[in-house]
Structure 1
Amino acid sequence: MSKSSRFKSLLTSALLVGLSTAIPLHAQPGEWVNHVVQIAPPPQPPAIALPVTLPRDNPAHEGWAMQQPNQSMVYNVSKPTLLPMPSSLPADKEAPAIILVPGGGYLYLAMENEGFHVADRLDRQGVRVFILKYRTLPVPDSYPAFIEALKGTFQTGANRGKIGDDIPFAVSDTQAAIRMVRAHAKEWHIDPARIGILGFSAGAMTALSTTQANLPDARPDFVGLIYGPTQAGPVPPKAPPLFAAIAADDRFFAKQDLGLIHDWRLSGSSVEFHLFSAGGHGFASHPNGTTSDLWFDEFALWLKDMKITAPN
């Protein structure tokens, strides 16, 4: 089997794990969609353009919206970019790097909840942080069209089948991001052997698929999956250390078994898994009074335990 065929097979497995049995979006009311408002593009760090290895046409203009205060989202992302976050580290200090992969059902990217706010917390852990703006599903070039697409995905389920269409493009963009960071590791004062990815929701699906693809030049050194797939799927040879966290009442992935965690452990690779009794979906930067509020503290301790970051 060719490398391309193996890659497509791995992506198909990820689709089956993450969508067919786990995310009955048509059953979710998606009431939050009714509160989304259009906003102007917020200030962002200078973006680094990523090479496109899997082209797709999207003539629409990038747009921004807000679900509620401090929950901005970007849609119609047609050009993948990498956003290097401001760092409090000494400019010449070598450090690990984490590429954040936000979620949003491949229709948008949750840039604050799963991007900017998480980046701020990671910076305090001694990590150089990048946010990946991977390409999202194209929608017609207007804000009303985006709202209709949101309703079709999260309320009526009319767009359910389209979600999986974006996974290969998101994975391709994530691979490009890993290559970019590794290629510039010396210039950016990054340890090339400590470059990881941390994905949320659809971003976790993307992070998992990227890891499963196991391309030698785009393989993360460690991976985090926050409210992402847990069902059995391929584990790459000599898989990188895995951190996974999910709430038992997650509305998308709660009915999946924990086969992925079991298989990762049996492969001999390191895995840490947290199943919180409650917390729902999307708790990255929004405490809700449940044990899921501790996910970041646990992740930070794991980074130290794995010798990815330095102890205090």
Structure 2
Amino acid sequence: MKRLALIAALWATSTSAAPGAWVDGVLPVANPPVSKAVDLPITLPRENPAREGWAQQTPDQRLVYNVSKPQLLLWPGTLAANAVAPAVILVPGGGYQFLAMDNEGFDVAKRLDKQGVRVFILKYRTLPIGNGSVGDGFPAFKQALAGLFQKGEKPKEDNRPYAVADTQAAIRMVRANASAWHVDPARVGILGFSAGAVTVLATTQANAADARPDFVGMVYGPTQGTEVPVHAPPLFSVIAADDRFFKAQDLSMLHAWRTSGASVEFHLYSAGGHGFASQPNGTTSDAWFDQYALWLKDNHITGQITGK
């Protein structure tokens, strides 16, 4: 099987501004072409008749909602074609109502690609919030977006089982195609943001033998809890003290992970808020990616590329 990649148009538009004025901070945009992404098998079926839609929150930040068909997007990458390298699957957040595809997907992939890894972006299923067309679905999406960020409203339905099932399917897919995609099947990790970080933790705790990540990262995700997976993989976790969604949590999960004997790296930034993945804001949280890159190297995940 040949290595699949998204067509160039998708990446070319990842930072382009949409024409026209913003509508209450968000603008509907056409669905970008992702036909060459890999469809993932659905292991936990759910009816979702809503059509997928895309919106632009700022000129360089796009969101996708009503995702009913999980896909694995393969970043084209700059590694030598035959180099065998570790893989990182990015799991964007968005309160399970949308996915922040630029801020926590494409823009992170651009930086991660330079670290000597094969990068994948998981487009997992989200909660249905109305039809995906501009005429009727976009208002429902905009209302959900406002409810999440302005009022802190949480969705009534728990989407984690579907997101976890799709993440497990992505891990299995990468390992199954390790030879074709030039990935080291023993170095397949996941890096999640916000709801994606919640998904990363739940996926790791599930302890599915064939879908267990070899290393995990959580950016502004949960820090509380005592459930540690058997043979817990190395964990990288960062959060800002003023995070509006997780600041009330204690650090019990990180303590439990460390006392279990597993490797933990944790950074608590004094400020940075929520959503700083690819959005520098002048606080120490801007350093998170460089620290993640050092962590990958220190854990011998990167720096061991073989082949040509």
TM-score, normalised with respect to structure 1: 0.86
Equivalence for 1:205: 198
Equivalence for 1:137: 127
Distance 1:45 1:266, change over 3 A: farther
Does 2:143 correspond to 1:148? yes
Match runs of 1:292-311 below 5 Å: 292-310=285-303
Equivalence for 2:271: 278
Deviation string, structure 1 residues 98-131 (Cα, Å, up to 9, x no partner): 0000000000000000000100101000010000
Q: What number of residue pairs does the alignment pair up?
A: 279
Name the CA distance, whole Å, in 1 between partners of 2:189 and 2:23.
32
Name the CA distance, whole Å, in 2 between partners of 1:41 and 1:270.
40
Does 2:49 correspond to 1:63? no
Match runs of 1:125-274 below 5 Å: 125-141=115-131, 142-156=137-151, 160-162=154-156, 165-274=158-267
- Give ranges in structure 2 of 5+ residues lacking alignment: 1-21, 132-136
Q: Secondary structure at the match of 2:279?
A: coil
Deviation string, structure 1 residues 140-195 (Cα, Å, up to 9, x no partner): 112112112223333345x5242x51110000000000000011111111000000
% identical aligned pairs: 68
Deviation string, structure 1 residues 3-57 (Cα, Å, up to 9, x no partner): xxxxxxxxxxxxxxxxxxxxxxxxxxxxx99311111123447210000010011
Q: Secondary structure at the match of 2:54?
A: strand
Name the CA distance, whole Å, in 2 between partners of 1:273 and 1:311.
24
Aligned residue type for 1:107: Q
Does 2:72 correspond to 1:82? yes
Q: 2:107 aligns with which of 106, 113, 117?
A: 117
Aligned residue type for 2:107: H
Q: Is the 8 A contact 1:97 1:195 kept in 2?
A: yes
Name the CA distance, whole Å, in 2 between partners of 1:33 and 1:268.
50
Distance 1:202 1:124, change over 3 A: same
Shift of 1:263: 0.5
Equivalence for 1:92: 82
Distance 1:66 1:200, change over 3 A: same
Deviation string, structure 1 residues 55-98 (Cα, Å, up to 9, x no partner): 01111111000111211000000000000001100111000000
Aligned residue type for 1:251: R
- Give ranges in structure 1 of 5+ residues lacking alignment: 1-31
TM-score, normalised with respect to structure 2: 0.87
Name the CA distance, whole Å, in 2 between partners of 1:203 and 1:307.
24
Q: Secondary structure at the match of 1:35?
A: coil
Name the CA distance, whole Å, in 2 between partners of 1:34 and 1:89.
41
Q: Secondary structure at the match of 1:160?
A: coil
Q: Secondary structure at the match of 1:34?
A: coil
Name the CA distance, whole Å, in 2 between partners of 1:193 and 1:178.
11
